[in-house]
Amino acid sequence: MMDLFKTLDLKPTKNHIFLILSILLSLPTIVMGEKIIITFPILLIIMLSFIFEEKFIIAIIIISLFTLLGEVDKTLRSLVHFVDFTLLGIIFLKMYGLDFKSFPQLPKSLLIFISLYFSVMILSSVLSKYPFAGVSLISQQLAFFVVAFVFYSLIKNVNDIKNYFDAIIIVSCIVVTVLIITFFNEGYDLVSIISKNRARVSALTGNIEAATNFIVVSFPIVIASLLLKKNSQKRKIFWFLLFYFFIGLTLAMSRSAIFGILISTSILFFILKRNLFYKLFLYLFSILLLFLLIQPLAEITFFFFRVEEGLSAREQTWSLSLNIIRDHFLFGIGPGAYKYEMFNYFPYMLNDWWGQLFIYYHEVTNGANFSHNFFLTFFTDMGLLGLIIAVTLPVLYFKISLSTLRKYKNESTEIYYLIVALFAAGVSIIARNFFNSIGLLFYGGITTDLPFWIIFGGLIYFYQAPLSVRNVINDPVLDS
């Protein structure tokens, strides 16, 4: 079996194409029924994937995983999962077969972390009043780590990492495009952007923070490319991307996304362009003062950042979570038990405005823990041990990242810029998780968590690879 997978060739023959088309044309007809027409673009992409190289296949997998999910029809979502994960499995098995010894190694510290994480989840579930509520979440998290490991395993050189982030940048552009279309379809105009009563616009998924996460990840990659490039035409492309992402952030009005981008941009300039960092800081600080002191500009700023809304009900969700923690300090309520326990700590009458808002959160998240803070989420679900696990992940990320930065500081400028961009992107996600629960480990959310683990996988590749990886082939992102 191992030799079979080793010798598999994804380049199509007539027999391969006939077999693939026969299966792919029959299965969607059975599954999709009258919705069969929407599968034709998917079939076209699959056919192109078998014509082009594996690099194209992987990019398409990332784009489809991040754009054809969320609020998309559940049947289509299942089909996308089936096709994407099947293709991923074929590529992985072609590369490694079933020879476990040939699989890429992970840092021992990360393996220990993952083992402890699952141990704490299982322990908390066993001691919970709802011991079976977390079974699906634990299984989902396990499947997620398998997918994340496959993506990490497919990194053979620097260009593979670049390919991942080329795909994520494309996803960001798709998100912004959908945001723009949604904005105008809802009847808004440009003036209404600064309107106090304008609703926030979302794209692809009802969760605005999840949609903007791709922009947050893409931003430092694009800025690092801009700092590195000398070619004027390429610089124009990157300036356009930054401008396009800014439009998306304006429409989504995600303060945590803007906060994350400010963090990642500061890290990039502080590490790569220290003098420019201080100049930009003074420049932006001066502009901020002007916007705060000049009344019309101040009003626009307050509307844009929704100052009057405070933390957008986060104070209430944090208070609810803290009340749960007081009663379940050591082991938590158990993974998956939040939907059963939250109403026992409900701080409002069910029929008042806040009560209706919390009920809405409960319904749209299917009862998921919406503590709006990564650390509170783990603390409420798994108690003190969960909090330790939550704190350990950023510590581990910083340990590996900083070691990698020191390792490549005096090596290839191109590689060093890429590593700094990856590090900054990961830190921006961690920073956002002080105000959100998604993006790091939200029980295996592909759309929400996979970008961070792709970033982490890229850094781990550099962390463990010999310095000879500085010999890079030209590629669309960060090439010289």
pLDDT top residue among 23 and 101? 101
User: In the prediction, which pLDDT does 5 show?
Assistant: 45
pLDDT in tens, 422-472: 999 999 999 988 888 788 888 778 888 999 999 999 999 999 988 764 444
On whether the CB atoms of residues 168 and 214 are closer than 8 A, the answer is yes
DSSP per-residue string spanning 131-191: TTTTHHHHHHHHHHHHHHHHHHHT--SHHHHHHHHHHHHHHHHHHHHHHHHHHHHTT--GG
User: Coil, strand or helix: which one is 374?
Assistant: helix
In the chain, the N- to C-terminal Cα span, in Å, equals 42
Q: What is the pLDDT of residues 141-181, one digit of tens each?
A: 999 999 999 999 999 989 999 999 999 999 999 888 888 88
- Per-residue pLDDT band at 106 (split at 50, 70, 90): very high
Closest CA to 365 of 259, 436, 312: 436
For residues 454 and 447, what is the distance between their CA atoms, to the nearest angstrom?
Answer: 12
Model pLDDT, residue 11: 47
* Window from 125-134, 144-153, 259-268, 440-449 with minimum mean pLDDT: 440-449
Query: Is the pLDDT reported for residue 10 higher than 50?
Result: no
pLDDT grade, residue 193 (50/70/90)?
Answer: low
**Predicted confidence (pLDDT) at residue 270 exceeds the cutoff of 60:** yes
Total residue length of the chain: 480
Nearest CA-CA partner of 325 in 365, 367, 377: 377
Residue 73 has pLDDT above 80, yes or no: no
Beta-carbon contacts of residue 169 (< 8 Å; ≥ 6 apart): 218, 221, 222, 241, 477
Average pLDDT over residues 262-290: 83
* Structure tokens belonging to residue 127: 């001691």
Q: What is the pLDDT of residue 29?
A: 46
Phi, then psi, of 406 in degrees rounded to 5: -65, -35
pTM recorded for the entire structure:
0.81
Averaged pLDDT for residues 473-478: 45
The Cα–Cα gap between 308 and 335 comes to 34
pLDDT tens digits for 40-70? 555 666 666 666 678 888 888 898 888 876 5
Q: Average pLDDT, whole number, for the chain?
A: 78
| Share above pLDDT 90 across residues of the chain, in percent, rounded to a whole number | 29
Say what the alpha-carbon torsion angle 313, 314, 316, 317 is, to the nearest 10 degrees. 120
**Encoded tokens for 1:** 């079996």
Q: Please give the Cα distance from 36 to 30 (Å, whole number).
A: 9
Q: Looking at residues 182-192, what average pLDDT do you find?
A: 65
* pLDDT of 226 over the 50 cut: yes
Domains of the chain, by residue range, sit at 2-102, 108-310+371-470
| pLDDT number for residue 205 | 58
Tell me the pLDDT tens digit for each residue of 332-372: 898 988 888 877 776 665 666 666 666 666 666 666 777 78
**pLDDT mean over 309-334:** 78
Among 62-76, 294-308, 319-333, the range of highest mean pLDDT: 319-333
Percentage, residues of the chain above pLDDT 70: 70
Residue 257 tokens, joined: 């996304």
> What integer pLDDT is reported at residue 476 of this predicted model?
46
**How far apart, in whole angstroms, are the C-alpha atoms of residue 43 and residue 22?**
11
Ramachandran region of residue 128, left (φ > 0), alpha (ψ -120 to 50) or beta? beta
Alpha-helical regions (H) of 229-334: 232-252, 255-272, 274-293, 295-304, 314-327
Q: Is the pLDDT confidence value at 478 over 70?
A: no
